[in-house]
Every structure is written in C-alpha cells, then in structure tokens.
Amino acid sequence: MRQFFEKLLSRDPLDTVLLLTLLLVAVNPGESLMLHASIQTSSGPLHADGSVWLDWLLLVSTAIVGVSGILSPQLRSSAALWFTLGGLLAVVNVWHNWHFSDNHKFVICYWCFGLGICQQLRDPARGAAWTGRILVGLVFGVATLWKVTSLGYLDGSTFQFLLITDERFFAMAHALAGFTTDMFEANRLVLTEELAKPTQLLPTVQYVAAHSLQTTESIPALAVFLTWWTILIEGAIAVLFLIDRGEKWEKWRHGVLLFFIFTTYPPTSVIKFGWILVIMALAAVPSEWRRTRTAYLFLFLYIYVFAESFLRNAYFSWAKG
Amino acid sequence: MLKCPAPRLWIIPAVLLLMAVVQRYHAEVTHLHPWKGGGFGMFAAVPPTHLLTMKTQDGKFYYKTPTPDTMRRAGRVLSTHPTPARCEQFGAAILEQDWVLIPGADGNFPVTRDRASAFPSAQPVTLKEVTLDISQYVFDKKTSQMRHAPLLDSVTVKRTN
C-alpha cells in the first residue's frame, strides 16, 4: 500500500488530478447507463418514451472519450479532450436531464471546462489549482447560502425529516437519539407506499390525508445540532477556500475539508460528490505537501471502499444493533 | 496569494453562480425540486413529495387515469418541476394517446392500448378532457406529520378536435 502511494506521489501532480477526473467521468456514464436500464416504476420503465437513445448515445460517447484520455497521456493533456468531455456532460446533465441531475454532475461539467481552459495556459497546474480552490469554495458557499436562507432548514425541519426517513442518517439517529429500526421501517412504509397512492386522495386534495411519522424525544435536539453544525463547517470551508491568507490558512483549509469529507461522505454513500471534491482540492494542494496529497488520495479510495464494501454494512449492522 | 492566472478562468465560477441563481429562482418561484437543478440545495430543504393525480372524461364519466408508460419521463419532469404550462402540455399529450377502457375493482378505467393486451375486448374510448392536480406532502415538524396540500391550481385540458 505504501509503495502504491509512493508511486502515485512521484507522478506529476496535475496528471494525477487529470487521471482521477477521467476515472470519475468514465465511471459515471457506466452507472447512468445501468440506471437507465434498471429504472422501473410500478407501471413500467421510466424511459419508455424514446428519448433514452439520446442519453445512451451521449453517455457511451462520454465513456469512450474518458477511457481514451486514461489510456493516452497526450490526449489528456489536450484542451480539446476536456472541452469535448465538458460539452458532452453539459448536453447530458445540464440540457437534457436538468430536472433529474444531482449537483455533482454539474460540478464535474464545470471542472472539465475549467481543465480545458487550464490546458491552454502556460502553467496548467497553476490554473487547475486556482480553479479547484474557487470551485470548492463556491460549492460550499452556495450550499451554505441556500441553507441560511431556507426557513425549512433553519427551523430544523429538514434534518428532523431526514433523521427519521433517510437511511443515510439512520445510524446517527439510532446511536444518538434512540431511533429504532422498527420506527425507521414504519416511516419508510408511509413514504413509499401510503403517500404513493394518489387514487386515495381523490376527489378533493384539501388536506384529506395526514400521515404520522414516528420519532423520538431526542430527534429534534439532534436535528438542531446538525442544522447549525452543517452551516458552521460548510461555511468555514467556503471561507477557507475563497480567501487566501498564506500557508497556515492553507493548512487549515485542507485540514477542515479532509475532516468534513472523511466524516460525511463515506457513511452517507455520496461517492461521486466526495470524489469530485477530493479531485478539485487535490489540484489546489502545493506539490511539495506530500502528506496532504496522500491524505486526499487515501480518501479517494476510502470513500469508495467504505461505501461499496462490507465496512458500510458492518457500520449499519452495528448501528441497528 | 494565489491570483487568478488567466481572466478567462473566471467564466467557470461565473457559470456556477449563474446556474445556482437560476436554480434558486425556480425552486422558490416555479416549484422546482430544491435538491435538483445544480443549485446545491441538497439537504437544505425537506425533499418534497409531489403527486400528480389525473382524471379524464369521455363526455359522460370521469375516470381516475394512470400515466401511460410512454409518458413516464415527462411525468417525472412534471413532478420534479411542476408548472401550469407543463401541466397543459402533459394534459394535451394524454388526450392524444390511444386509450381503451378496462374493468377494475372501482368500475372501468382507461389505460393505453399497449397495456391492455390482457383485455382483447377492451373498448376504445375518446377522452374529451383531462384534469390534472399537482399536490405535495409537507412535513410538519411539531406533529411529525406529512400533510397533504395542493401545490398548483387544477389544470383542465379539453380536446380541440
């Protein structure tokens, strides 16, 4: 393992960033294609309207361009490859699937265009460092702004709801607020079955139904803590990345982001968002900071291994007792 | 201090901010799902549960109406970002489908012909109008209840020919 990281660290830092980005781009369409093939609703496939061929065409093209870049160092250092990838991702995620695309798909698209511009500069590594830093800062800045201006967030409703209905927060709700598996499953049943019965609601839609979700006495307090903790840490990351005040500041910047990613993305299985943040932050790390670069590279692997392996199952089994 | 190495690099953060502003506008004003659309509103609001209910009329009777298979994607767009204009388009497309009536527990109801293979004698029906209701469930943290409320005014689309 040590040799593996030594080898990675001895590579050109920018090339490592480019390779990881291409890996992310090449993996992403594969997953999307599988999703297209498997999305079924109670009354048939979701994409049975003929538009799916465009998604397939674009996603296969993206995967081919991504794999070509991984195989060819010359290709991945060309601006054309990154603009092509950015363009394909923009068509798939921003234009064709704007209503469905998760945030990380937009960020990957911006990052690819940014790398394209960087490859046209005399010092692409410096350009990528600036772009990565600004994008990480803005992602967290905009997310924090969204939260502090959302009444449903500030009053604790959002986390209260997520803690009692979202599997990603179950372990925390169970360990810290005594929320049980039975309660969680009863709530999921309400959300997936009871609320999905529109025919019950006819003929009038005026407050004809109110479904109770199960909770515990400690959930509201935990929700308030998470609400303000999230604002604090996301806001801090935004400030640390958007403002530049020398080396000590820079150490705090990466330290806080590493802590946030380590504690947030693996248990919640948010792999792609975690990966793109790691990649952009890695681009912003000075090449001589080997330990910080090692930490990001380790995190890149750890996010995937944790989310996709027995570790996550063990974590949830432990949480469920 | 790491200065911007080339002014054209500012295009990237500018596009991110523009998309975020557009997304926030749509989330606040036109009922876009706050978690979608590239504005980083994930975990910033309770994810809304939007419901589309439809009833169609053949001139005499009203029927509860399912979304046809071929319109699943459009149905998902409608529930993620419901607007009156999108409801009207969706309703017009519903009326253009090839419907038949099949028997159900609560009386006859329409399905598109491609889903009625188990009912060879199903009678074709010309739907004259469709009414769409978009509603949502709102989480009330004080009572821990999901309350059902209308999101948009009902939209009724009539066949023109």
CA–CA distances in Å: residue B105 to residues A280, B82, B102, B109 = 57, 30, 10, 9
The pLDDT score that the predictor gives to residue A142 is 97
Mean pLDDT of A92-118: 91
State the Cα–Cα distance between residues A267 and A275, nearest whole angstrom: 14
Q: Model pTM?
A: 0.87
Q: Which has the minimum average pLDDT: A209-213, A232-236, B58-62?
A: A209-213
pLDDT in tens, B84-141: 999 999 999 999 888 888 887 667 788 888 888 888 888 888 888 998 888 888 888 8
State the Cα–Cα distance between residues B146 and A30, nearest whole angstrom: 36
Per-residue confidence at A46, pLDDT binned at 50, 70, 90? very low
In this structure, how many other beta carbons lie within 10 angstroms of the beta carbon of residue A207?
12
Sort out which chain B residues have CB atoms less than 8 A from A103's CB and list them: 38-40, 42
Mean pLDDT of B49-76: 80
Interface with A, mutate which of B8, B31, B43 (most A CBs under 10 A): B43
In this structure, how many other beta carbons lie within 10 angstroms of the beta carbon of residue B41?
26
The pLDDT score that the predictor gives to residue B111 is 86
**Nearest by CB: A131 against B12, B32, B33:** B12
pLDDT in tens, A128-139: 999 999 999 999
Check CB contact of A119 with chain B, cutoff 8 Å. Answer: no
pLDDT(B79) > 60:
yes
Mean pLDDT of B9-32: 95
pLDDT(A39) > 50:
no
State the Cα–Cα distance between residues A185 and A188, nearest whole angstrom: 5
The pLDDT score that the predictor gives to residue A158 is 94
State the Cα–Cα distance between residues B35 and A100, nearest whole angstrom: 9
pLDDT(A251) > 80:
yes
Per-residue confidence at A33, pLDDT binned at 50, 70, 90? low
The pLDDT score that the predictor gives to residue A171 is 83
For the ranges A51-60, A150-159, A189-198, the one whose mean pLDDT is highest: A150-159
Closest CA relative to residue A305, chosen from A297, A29, A3:
A297
Closest CA relative to residue A256, chosen from A229, A223, A276:
A229
Nearest chain B residue (CA) to A245: B1
**C-beta atoms of A48 and B72 within 8 A:** yes
**Nearest by CB: A190 against B3, B37, B146:** B146
State the Cα–Cα distance between residues A245 and A52, nearest whole angstrom: 48
CA–CA distances in Å: residue A265 to residues A259, A277, A302, B107, B119 = 10, 10, 10, 50, 50
Per-residue confidence at A85, pLDDT binned at 50, 70, 90? very high
ipTM tops 0.90: no
* Shortest Cα–Cα distance, A144 to chain B (Å): 8
Mean pLDDT of A272-298: 94
The pLDDT score that the predictor gives to residue A203 is 42
The pLDDT score that the predictor gives to residue B76 is 85
